[in-house]
A = this chain, B = another copy of it.
């Protein structure tokens, strides 16, 4: 698949180039933006890998691009860093008054209920279009050769782990910061799944990391997960004991780190994103 992209902005950064791209999305039926950081090695045409970063509720591609400082580690490790938006966008795209549903809250799933089904399919968008765009930006056939990792924050951590487990053959590494690991049983997830997927919980399990591991979906490489002990969403929305137990039972290797005193903000992401870039870089050698 070839997707025409238009460069909205270019900024020199850590010896590489930060771009914002715009394109028409077939999967979503609207115009989308994403950011792409090309490290110095990519600009020189040398072999690189790709790390897809999925953002959390309310974010666009801008939040992580301007606040996390991930590009520094990507410059060091030769990683192309791709950050899509969190939902379809536009005036004719269904939305909700709440910040945790509709635009800014796509939950990386394919909606089946009205009015969401018309545009909301962020999982297909990431797998088909974001990866295709990443491939055109990265020297050395990174995507077809499987040198792609996926990570994300909060709702985006949920997206990273569910997509990584469901398409284990496409991704060399999976990691997440403060992910929603058991969305079927927490308020953010329940509200979104009910709206996008309807009341039948059977349909929800395809988008629940814990349920996916229980059903046998695993990844050969250790999954890195960071959470902050001072995160005000930790108990209510980011519960993970069942997920960890499921990983143990399924033999899924994971490294879970509870970071003392950190909250849910981009200060937390900035503090640990370099470890996630390194985790990815190790997986592709």
Q: Which of A's residues lie within 8 Å of B, judged by CB?
A: 11-15, 18, 66-67, 69, 71-72, 228, 230, 259-263, 265-268, 270-271
Contacts and interface: CB of A to CB of B under 8 A. Distances in A.
Contact of A12 (B18, B69, B263): B263
Nearest to A230: B12
Contact of A14 (B13, B71, B260, B271): B271
A267 B228 CA distance: 27
A161 to B, nearest CB: 24
Given A67-B67, A69-B72, A72-B69, A270 B13 contact: yes
Nearest to A13: B267
A58 to B, nearest CB: 15
Contacts of A262: 12
Nearest to A72: B69
Contacts of A15: 271
A12 B228 contact: yes
A231 to B, nearest CB: 10
A186 to B, nearest CB: 23
A200 to B, nearest CB: 40
A271 B72 CA distance: 8
Which 7 pairs of residues, A with B, have the shortest CB-CB distance?
Answer: A69-B69, A11-B267, A13-B267, A12-B261, A12-B262, A14-B271, A66-B67
Nearest to A228: B12
A12 B270 contact: no
A271 B75 CA distance: 11
A267 B12 CA distance: 7
A261 B271 CA distance: 28
Contacts of A13: 267-268, 270-271
